[in-house]
């Protein structure tokens, strides 16, 4: 199962991704990614849009299977799990979707209560306490009776976060947690990610292209581009990296290894070409 690799597998690694390939139709999305994620740390996965970050999350969550390579979470090989075992594993994983993915027909309270109601048989009085505690963690205890449509983007994401920690998972995956938020909300989410990681010891995976916020909260960062790992290290190491690819991403240069131009014919010939 395990192949020789530059990092030895140890119990410190919660999610072990080795040489993962993934092809969507004929299009290769991931071309051999090795990406160990350590327990109790905040790991950032950064990269441009469409570089396969979300695919990586779906692979970890077992929603899709890799074409090649091994992927274990807490020692269990995710692609080989049967549905029932996969569901058991997912109860120990939280995931925060970009849109929040709150159930629109349930109130804030019921949304947070949802995973608890589905998976446990807690009596209503205890359930209420648990839910209010989770809501208090994200500072939205007062918003319990609102419907998701009445929440702002940042609040919706905080409710989703409260829901993700409802079952006290061992890890949480954040899919673009900062996208589309105002600076205050960004700060709140960043603080929450850090705080949850420290107080509950939850392993966190932050997939994002917001360089500043992500570097601020993460312990270790991977830079993904073109289906490969382009760079890795602590945020400071990554920021100082000399790699052209890493530089382009970190500094937000319009042109570089990731070309500005979508592949096309020569501009002049294209313009002067007569339409047959």
Partner 1 sequence: MNTLRVLGGIVINSVERVGRAAMFLYEVLLGSWELLRRFYLVVQQVYAVGVLTLLIILVSGLFVGMVLGLQGYNTLVKFGSANSLGLLVALSLVRELGPVVTALLFAGRAGSALTAEIGLMKATEQLAGMEMMAVNPVTRVIAPRFLGGVIAMPLLTALFSAIGVMGGHLVGVGLLGVDAGAFWSQMQNGVDFHDDIMNGVIKSVVFGVVVTWISVFEGYDAVPTSEGVASATNRTVVYSSLAVLGLDFILTALTLGEV
Partner 2 sequence: MINRKSLELWVGLFVAAGILALAMLAFKVGNLTSADVMDGYKVTARFDNVGGLKVKAAVTMAGVRIGRVSAIAFDNKKYQALVTMDIDGRYQNIPKDSSASILTSGLLGDQYVGIEPGGDEASLQNGDSFLRTQSALVLEKLVGQVIFNKAGESAPAK
Q: Per CB under 8 A, which region of 8-16, 27-35, 102-110, 150-158 contacts partner 2?
A: 102-110
The answer to whether residues 102 and 156 touch, using CB atoms and an 8 Å cutoff, is yes
**112 φψ region: left (φ > 0), alpha (ψ -120 to 50), beta (else):** alpha
Q: Is 67 exposed, middle or buried (0-12, 13-18, 19+ CB in 10 A)?
A: middle
Q: Per CB under 8 A, which region of 31-39, 95-103, 133-141, 258-266 contacts partner 1?
A: 95-103
Q: Rounded to the nearest whole angstrom, what is the least distance from the CB of residue 121 to partner 1 in the complex?
A: 12
Residue holding tokens 């209010």?
132
Q: Rounded to the nearest whole angstrom, what is the least distance from the CB of residue 86 to partner 1 in the complex?
A: 8
The Cβ of residue 83 has, within 10 Å, a number of other Cβ atoms equal to: 8
The answer to whether residues 1 and 70 touch, using CB atoms and an 8 Å cutoff, is yes
Q: Per CB under 8 A, which region of 84-92, 121-129, 132-140, 221-229 contacts partner 1?
A: 84-92
119 contacts partner 1 (rule: CB under 8 A): yes
Return the residue of 36, 52, 115, 227 that touches partner 1, per CB under 8 A.
115
The Cβ of residue 209 has, within 10 Å, a number of other Cβ atoms equal to: 17
> Going residue by residue from 104 to 123, which x/- string records binding to partner 2, judged by CB under 8 A?
-xxx----------------
106 binds, among partner 1, partner 2, none (CB under 5 to 8 A by kind): partner 2
The Cβ of residue 50 has, within 10 Å, a number of other Cβ atoms equal to: 9
Distance, CA of 139 to CA of 137 (rounded, Å): 6
The residue among 154 and 225 lying less far from partner 1, judged by its C-beta, is: 154
Interface residues with partner 1 (CB under 8 A) are 61, 63, 87-88, 90-91, 93-95, 97-99, 101-104, 114-115, 118-119, 160, 163, 167
* Interacting residues toward partner 2 by CB under 8 A: 105-107
């Amino acid at each position: 199962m395990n192949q020789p690799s530059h990092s030895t597998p140890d119990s410190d690694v919660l999610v072990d991704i080795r040489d993962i390939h993934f092809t969507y139709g004929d299009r290769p999305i991931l071309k051999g990614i090795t990406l160990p994620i350590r327990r109790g740390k905040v790991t950032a996965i950064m990269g441009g849009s469409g570089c396969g970050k979300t695919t990586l999350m779906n692979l970890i969550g077992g929603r899709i299977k890799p074409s090649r390579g091994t992927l274990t979470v807490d020692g269990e090989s995710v692609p080989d799990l049967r549905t029932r075992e996969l569901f058991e594993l997912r109860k120990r994983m939280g995931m925060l979707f970009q849109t929040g993915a709150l159930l629109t027909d349930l109130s804030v309270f019921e949304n947070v209560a949802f995973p608890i109601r589905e998976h446990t048989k807690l009596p209503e009085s205890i359930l209420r306490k648990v839910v209010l505690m989770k809501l208090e963690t994200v500072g939205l205890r007062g918003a319990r009776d609102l419907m998701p449509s009445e929440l702002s983007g940042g609040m919706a994401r905080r409710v989703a976060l409260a829901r993700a920690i409802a079952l006290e998972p061992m890890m949480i995956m954040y899919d673009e947690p900062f996208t589309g938020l105002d600076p205050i909300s960004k700060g709140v989410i960043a603080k929450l990610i850090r705080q949850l990681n420290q107080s509950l010891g939850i392993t966190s995976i932050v997939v994002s292209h917001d360089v500043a916020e992500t570097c601020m909260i993460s312990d270790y960062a991977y830079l993904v581009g073109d289906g490969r790992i382009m760079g890795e290290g602590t945020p400071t190491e990554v920021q100082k990296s000399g790699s052209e690819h890493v530089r382009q991403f970190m500094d937000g240069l319009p042109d570089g290894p990731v070309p500005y131009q979508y592949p096309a014919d020569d501009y002049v010939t294209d313009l002067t070409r007569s339409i047959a």
